Structure 1
Amino acid sequence: MDSKTQDARRVGGPDDLNPTGAQTDDLLMNAVKAVGDAAYRWSIDDDLLYWGPGSEILLGISEISKISTHRDFTSRLVTDGPSRYESICRSRESDAGSGVPYNLEYRIRDDFGGMRWVEDRGRWFGGPDGAPAFAVGVLRAIDERHKREEELVRLSTYDELTGLLNRVRLKEALTDAMIAAQRGRQNSAFLLVAVDNLALVNDAFGFDVADEVIVCVGERLRGLARRGDSLGRYAGNKFGLVLPNCNEERLSAVCDRLLAEVRDKVVMTARGPVAVTVSAGSIALPGHASSVDQALARAEEALVSAKQRLRDSHVVYAPSREREKTRLRNINVADELITALNDKRIRIAYQPIVDATTCEPMMYECLVRMEQPDGNIAAAGHFVPVAEKLGLIGLIDYRVMELAVETLRARPDVKLSLNVSGRTTGDRLWRDTLASHLDRDKHLAERLVIEITETVAIHEVSELTDFVATFRELGCQIAIDDFGAGYTSFRNLKTLDVDMVKIDGSFVIDLATNPDNQFFVRTLVDLARNFNLPTVAEWVSNEEEVVMLRNLGVEYLQGFYLGEPRMTLPRPLAGIDTKRTVA
């Protein structure tokens, strides 16, 4: 090819880029060049390509003559769909005079060993027979756009930290496995694997090391996964593994191998070696789940059971009628509880706490009850354990607090004791609401004792300090309930600055005939006395226990023998000054 012909093909050819053969519009060509695009004209009959300015730069071609024919050009293309020739020359559309548009995307090999993504937009025009005669178009570099799209696909498919499947894709893989299993093609299984005590690693080494642990555990699990298995990061420290063609009999052996792979090698991190174990819950499919959500829930359940045993344990899900009955009961009780809250059928029963010497009521403990639609009263044991398990206890505590405040306002002659769950001590709304009531009426605070269970005092001392300080400053007293059941550190009592301790009722049962209980009560009373803390003995059931507790130095008593919980308070004595607070 002579230089004149070559130069013509670079600039636009004898017919230029215009299908009418007019001279190229300089303004249009300059605009195309300015945005970095490359214009071309393809003469289909003789297979010649005419390229506009800037084509070499866009395509990474050192000499444009290397792609002066369509055959030369397409030899460099990589496309997943129909070829460029098929898309244009074998189009089923016909040219009505204005040309037929096309829009293609493909990769082209450059002269530097790389691949470049381009978008090819143009129109082909038919000859006298209607068949495509020539095409004109523009190529645009779209590498950056494809990188962004690939990154979006990656992020929508893979977990950013571990590179494993993310939760969405893991569920899709589980769906596919369950469909195959339900159609009878093969059994499958699902494993949920969690790193044990990752919070301790966070505290001891930092979150960056915990991330290293998660990544390493993921790599080890991936190393054990078979071809066709699907491994993903389910959430936080949990991994999910879908096992096609795996029956229930093999699950225990699979779990043993996974646990050993993690347990037997320390994880080398930037801050040194870390010993790690995992626990696993697994479920065989389709036998024990009819849906993906059910499979996930039951695998979670098996994992929780494994963690409750010991670290480095695994449990294969097995159905249990008793467990299902318990769950059904929990659902019914929860529904009953929410309805009772909405209907304001949560009530208070008042149980007297009496002076050990005179047996006269000094205050009343507020015990929650539920009034049922038929008017019967349900004891706390019917619904409180379920409320605690399902996270509804805060709603109950809030309602009981409102009722206690109403009672204190209506009965200036009584002093009340109000139980608070561990969850509620951190409930800002509960705290602010009660503080607002007490701040408006100081006489309410003088007649209110707030009881915190000992287990909360043991585990949440730092969190409770502010809670206790807030209500003591407002004028309330603070009591530790169930004292002795958890062996509270007396240093914690001093830190919390409580006003009273209530001895756990389990030490009062059979006090007259049980030397161990006598020893415990005597010890607890002596220790409380060293801190100048009055004591209340719970569950007092007979006169003999009253006498013994009084002799041991217990100041206050509570129990059915001294007064059962009642839904109403006794009327004030005639002539009592209701404006005076009870000591």
Structure 2
Amino acid sequence: MQTTDTLAVESGSATEAGAILSSVGTATYEWAVPSDQLGWSDNVAEVLGIADMASLSTGRGFARFMSPESPAGRYEAVVNSPHVDRGEGVAYCVTYAIAPQPGILQWIEDTGRWFASSDGRPLKAHGTVRIITDRYENERRLREASEIDPLTGQLARHRFCQVLDEALEDAVKVRGSIGFVIAAIDGLAQVNECYGFDVADEVIAAVGRRIRTRLRGGDLLGRLSGNKFGILMRSCQPDEMSVACERILMGVRDDVFLTSAGPIPVTVTMGGVVAPRHASSLAAMMGRAQEALDSIKGRRRGAFEAFQPSPERERARQENLQTTGEIVSALNDRRIALAYQPIVAAGPGREVLGYECLLRVRRPDGTLLPAASIVPLAERLGLIRLVDARVMELALAELTAAPGVRLSVNVSPATVMNRAWIDTLSARLKANPDLAARLTVEITESTAIADLDETRRFVARVKDVAARVAIDDFGAGYTSFRNLRRLGVDSVKVDGSFIADFHRNTDDRHFVATLLELARHMGLSTVAEWVPNEDVALALAELGCDALQGHHTGRASDQRPWLAAPAMASLRQTA
């Protein structure tokens, strides 16, 4: 039997507990599920802002306050729960919205535990509710900020990809079809350069708005990267995708964009894919839409191209993947090697002036990878810097082992722009001045014209350590002799395409003669590549070419020819 003091303590504890709950904005409830009777703590009206307590006496009555747009509430978490009570009850925590008064929406966090009767059905539930409207709104704003691109107001990349992936899953389930398109703004780098990044941002945002107004109902736009938008076209067949994209292209192209810097004409180029017909995953959709975009951009900007399967392209892709693996494996296993092609004097005797180091990549069985595919693929995949570093390491080792030898080494555009590479080379050559005097670094003409200022700095760094620099494949690009003078190189190697047909093509002969004369006037030594026969070799010598290189004057060999004829390995400073 309880004493009066005991009852007083319990009553005091209950009162204190109620005060604590009220102070933190929390009310408690107990719900008898079969009868739908709902009992609340005394502070529920204060917490929820609902004055009519009678309306809260049943679960159905409380449910009438829930917003129609609200997520599922307590009823779904208890009565329709997929869980089974193992004797300890089943915990739940749900968030939903109620409208306690017209025009007022409050978000509630409902945390509780339900218990089953002997037949396993929910018998009762008890828990707490509290208002979390401020927290919910803060979380919503943060969620929206992470899902919406702040510049364009379109979906951010990660959220767009989520929706795109879900749309693909739905299309697979119902055997439907969706379209995915990448739209890239053309010439955005030039807008940045001419007008500044603020104006470029205006263009990006305006293009996004204009594309959005040209979409079909139900289609979705997202920003994928700096100049690229992604477009999801629901229930879309190939012909429909083409028509929709042409409408977007015209909408962007036909009217200039008014910016703070004035009107700017803008076009977009688009590549798309129909899924799941031609892409069964998000990664495949991204890759194939990008592939179509790259394809059309290489031929014509401001146009659209849809991905089409190609057995030849797929075979080439598989071969590229295999070659990539072999290059990485060769780098790891140090199966990168060099072959050496002689560069000979054009005059009588054909004295060997030095050797050009040519890349060789060996497979584990000793066979060679096709040389023509190695460098372009390594450049596309970002492996070329590692390859160039290994080639230079091997060349320096040969220069150290053979004091009389002079070598030329080709470097890629990525390496020319990589200051860490030239820093490493400079440190090696400063410590070994004799090596620098016998080394020539070759850069292609296309590399030189890509960024003249950066190339000029690279050339200066190489010459600072007393090595020489040559322009390879000269004539294939558009370098003027004024730019050539600015670069400060030591020699030019005439592109082999002009030498191969030299004896048959009068235009080639005239071009080569003019180039040799101008180079001589500028004090640059010259080397003719791909020399095919003796007649061409003699003609080049008569025109004043300093050196020759090609199958006629000596094939590449990995046997270190100077070991057999060391006296032939002296390279004149003029070469």
2:225 to 219, 235, 240: 235
Q: 1:101 and 1:511 mapped to 2: Cα distance?
A: 87
For these two proteins, the number of residue pairs brought into alignment is 548
**TM-score, normalised relative to structure 1:** 0.81
User: Corresponding residue for 1:410?
Assistant: 401
Higher deviation after alignment, 535-544 or 67-76: 67-76
Query: Which of 183, 192, 195 is the equivalent residue of 1:202?
Result: 192
Name the CA distance, whole Å, in 2 between partners of 1:271 and 1:292. Answer: 39
481, 500, 506: which one aligns with 2:491: 500
Secondary structure of the residue aligned to 1:451 is strand
- State the partner residue of 2:285: 295
**Displacement, 1:316?**
1.4
Task: Identify which of 168, 184, 191 aligns with 1:178.
Answer: 168
* CA distance in structure 1 between the aligned counterparts of 2:305 and 2:29, rounded to whole angstroms: 68
Residues 233 and 241 in structure 2, CA contact (< 8 A), matched pair in contact too: no
Q: CA deviation at 1:424?
A: 1.3
Q: How does 1:261-410 map to 2 (within 5 A)?
A: 261-358=251-348, 359-377=350-368, 380-410=371-401
Q: Could you say if the C-alpha distance between residues 165 and 577 of structure 1 is closer, same or farther in structure 2, counting changes exceeding 3 Å?
A: closer
Q: 1:465 aligns with which of 456, 474, 480?
A: 456
AA aligned opposite 2:176: Q
Greater mean deviation of Cα atoms: 363-372 or 469-478: 363-372
1:187-215 superposed Cα distances (whole Å, 9 cap, x missing partner) = 33222222222222222233333233222
CA contact (8 A) 2:354 2:571 kept: no
The one-character-per-residue Cα deviations of 1:417-442 (angstroms, maximum 9, x if unpaired) are 11111111123443233222212111
Residues 1:251 and 2:208 are matched in the alignment = no
1:565 is aligned to 2:559: no
The whole-number CA distance in structure 2 between the counterparts of 1:401 and 1:77 is 73
In structure 1, distance between residues paired with 2:568 and 2:372: 37
Structure 2 CA distance for aligned equivalents of residues 503 and 93 of structure 1: 82
Which segments of 5 or more consecutive residues in structure 2 lack a partner in the other structure? 1-6, 115-124
CA distance in 2 between partners of 1:519 and 1:549 (Å): 12
Deviations 1:223-261 (A, max 9, x none): 233333233223332222222322223332222111111
* 2:473 paired with 1:454: no
Asked if residue 190 in structure 1 is aligned to residue 180 in structure 2, the reply is yes
Aligned residue in 2 for 1:216:
206
Q: Supply the distance in 2 between the matched residues of 1:510 and 1:241 (Cα, whole angstroms).
A: 50
- 3-state SS of the aligned residue for 1:287? coil
2:523 and 2:162 mapped to 1: Cα distance? Answer: 63
1:193 and 1:280 in contact (8 A); partners too: yes
**Is 1:433–2:433 an aligned residue pair?**
no
By how many angstroms is 1:102 displaced? 9.0
User: Judging changes above 3 Å, is the alpha-carbon distance between structure 1 residues 111 and 498 closer, same or farther for their aligned structure 2 residues?
Assistant: same
1:145/1:444 Cα in 2 relative to 1: closer, same or farther (>3 Å)? same
Looking at structure 2, the residues matched to 67 and 325 of structure 1 have their Cα atoms a distance apart, in angstroms, of 73
**Over aligned residues, Cα RMSD in angstroms?**
4.1
- Residue deviations 1:108-154, cap 9 Å, x none? 55779443334567999xxxxxxxxxx99986542221012213432
TM-superposed CA distance for 1:489, in Å, is 2.0
Letter of the aligned partner of 1:546 in structure 2?
A
Inter-partner Cα distance in structure 1 for 2:369 and 2:547: 27
- The answer on 1:532 being equivalent to 2:523 is yes
- Three-state SS of the structure 1 residue aligned to 2:471 is strand
How far apart are residue 177 of structure 1 and its match? 3.7
Letter in 2 for 1:400: V
Matched, 1:22 2:21: no
Given that 1:212 and 1:269 are in contact with CA atoms closer than 8 Å, whether structure 2 keeps it comes out as: yes
Compared with structure 1, are the counterparts of its residues 509 and 43 closer, same or farther at alpha carbon in structure 2 (3 Å cutoff)?
closer
Contact 1:457–1:492 (CA under 8 A) maintained in structure 2: no
CA distance in 2, matches of 1:121, 1:214: 45
Change (3 A) 1:318 1:76: closer
Call closer, same or farther: CA 1:48–1:200 in 2, change over 3 Å. Answer: same
Structure 2: distance between partners of 1:150 and 1:20: 44
The letter for the 1-side match of 2:374 is F
In the TM superposition, residue 25 of structure 1 has moved relative to its aligned partner by 8.0
TM-score by length of 2: 0.82
Q: How far did residue 452 of structure 1 move?
A: 0.6
Change (3 A) 1:19 1:502: farther
Classify 1:298/1:50 alpha carbon distance in 2 versus 1 (closer, same or farther; 3 Å).
closer
Mapped pair 1:489 → 2:480 = yes
What is the alpha-carbon distance in structure 2 between the residues aligned to residue 554 and residue 275 of structure 1? 49
Could you tell me how far 1:395 is from its partner in structure 2?
2.4
Alpha-carbon distance between aligned partners in 1 of 2:84 and 2:504, rounded to the nearest angstrom: 102
Percent of aligned positions that are identical? 42
Question: Are the structure 2 counterparts of residues 402 and 140 from structure 1 closer, same or farther at C-alpha, using a change threshold of 3 Å?
Answer: same
- Counterpart CA distance in 1 for 2:527 and 2:545 is 6
CA distance in 2, matches of 1:22, 1:252: 76
Aligned pair 1:475/2:466, yes or no?
yes
Q: CA deviation at 1:377?
A: 4.7
**Cα pair 2:562 2:568 within 8 Å, conserved:** no
User: CA 1:348/1:110 → structure 2, altered by over 3 Å: closer, same or farther?
Assistant: same
1:394-415 deviation digits (Å, cap 9, x = unpaired) = 2221211111001000110111
Q: How much has 1:83 moved relative to structure 2?
A: 6.9
Superposition deviation, residue 164 in structure 1: 2.7
The one-letter amino acid of 2:168's match is M
User: Structure 1 residues 285, 398: CA separation in 2 closer, same or farther (over 3 Å shift)?
Assistant: same
Q: Distance in 2 between matches of 1:541 and 1:161?
A: 58
- Code of the aligned partner of 1:22: S
- 2:234 maps to a residue whose letter is P
Q: How far has the Cα of 1:459 moved from its partner?
A: 1.1
